[in-house]
């Protein structure tokens, strides 16, 4: 049944979306393969951060340059993504290390020694948790960077006489509209994914116990840092766009 539903979904996507949507499916499959290879590489003993950063860069390259083709907009978005990752990586490392949210949550009943699982996977769990946050982070900022870069490029084409300062202001204004929908999307994904967990907390825990539980803090910090990345990448992409498009016009 699942295979039949998958075939129907892919057929409907290809019929409605055409070639561009077919590229999206190929990109999704390739990115899934990259994530799987990352997991295997970490399991083989390679450094989790090195593997994750490599995967994030490759995912950005495939998503921006294959799915959206090689052009000035995708190049600008890729540069903005790399810059934001470089700026946010020390913050992510510090917050994850300081919050002690690494490892398996206590209330995750399936992964217990009594159930035949081992909680010790012989890997640095701090690095593993940072890798998880980076994976959530990269998925959120790529779309925002490309949206700002594309919108700002259209403004430049229709108003080639705008100064770099005006282009930057236009990028910020458009980024605000994009940000509102992006933050709402992240919020509702988080609420929908952990709806049953919130119901369990309401029945079995106090509010203080909920906000101090490891499982809640792990996901809340991931979503919060992703939102911070979406906020930061707007002025970064707007600034790079103003500099790049202005230079091209001159």
Mean pLDDT of 149-169: 84
Condensed to tens digits (0 to 9), the pLDDT of residues 76-134 reads 999 999 999 999 999 988 888 887 776 665 555 555 555 445 555 667 778 888 888 88
Dist CA 99 CA 221 (whole Å): 9
The pTM (predicted TM-score) of the whole model is 0.80
Instruction: Read off the DSSP letter of residue 117.
Output: -
Q: 45's torsion region: left (phi>0), alpha (psi -120 to 50) or beta? A: left
Query: What is the reported pLDDT for 107?
Result: 54
Average pLDDT score over residue span 6-28: 72
Angle between helices 72-99 and 214-249 (to 10 degrees): 150
The per-residue pLDDT for 54 is 92
Greatest mean pLDDT among 22-36, 43-57, 191-205 lies in 43-57
Q: Which of 235, 37, 74, 64 is nearest to 150 (CA)?
A: 74
- Tell me what the mean pLDDT of segment 22-50 comes to: 85
Encode 25-70 in three state secondary structure: HHHHHHHHHHHHHHHHHHHCCCCHHHHHHHHHHHHHHHHHHHCCCC
Distance (Å, whole) CA 156 – CA 247: 11
């Amino acid at each position: 049944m699942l295979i039949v539903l998958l075939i129907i979904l892919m057929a409907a996507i290809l019929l409605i979306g055409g070639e561009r949507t077919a590229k999206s499916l190929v990109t999704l499959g390739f990115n899934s393969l990259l994530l799987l290879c990352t997991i295997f590489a970490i399991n083989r003993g390679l450094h989790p951060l090195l593997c994750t950063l490599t995967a994030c860069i490759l995912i950005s390259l495939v998503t921006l340059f294959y799915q959206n083709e090689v052009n000035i907009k995708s190049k600008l978005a890729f540069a903005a993504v790399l810059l934001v990752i470089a700026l946010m990586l020390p913050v992510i490392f510090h917050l994850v290390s300081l919050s002690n949210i690494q490892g398996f949550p206590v209330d995750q009943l399936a992964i217990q020694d009594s159930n035949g699982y081992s909680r010790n996977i012989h890997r640095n769990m701090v690095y593993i948790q940072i890798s998880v946050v980076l994976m959530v982070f990269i998925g959120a900022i790529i779309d925002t960077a490309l949206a700002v870069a594309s919108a700002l490029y259209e403004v430049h084409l229709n108003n080639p006489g705008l100064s770099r300062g005006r282009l930057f202001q236009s990028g910020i204004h458009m980024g605000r509209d994009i940000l509102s929908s992006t933050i709402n999307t992240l919020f509702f994904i988080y609420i929908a994914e952990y709806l049953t967990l919130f119901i369990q907390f309401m029945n079995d825990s106090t509010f203080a116990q909920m906000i101090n539980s490891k499982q809640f803090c792990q996901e809340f910090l991931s979503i919060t840092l992703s939102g911070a990345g979406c906020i930061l990448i707007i002025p970064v992409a707007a600034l790079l766009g103003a500099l790049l498009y202005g230079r091209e016009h001159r």
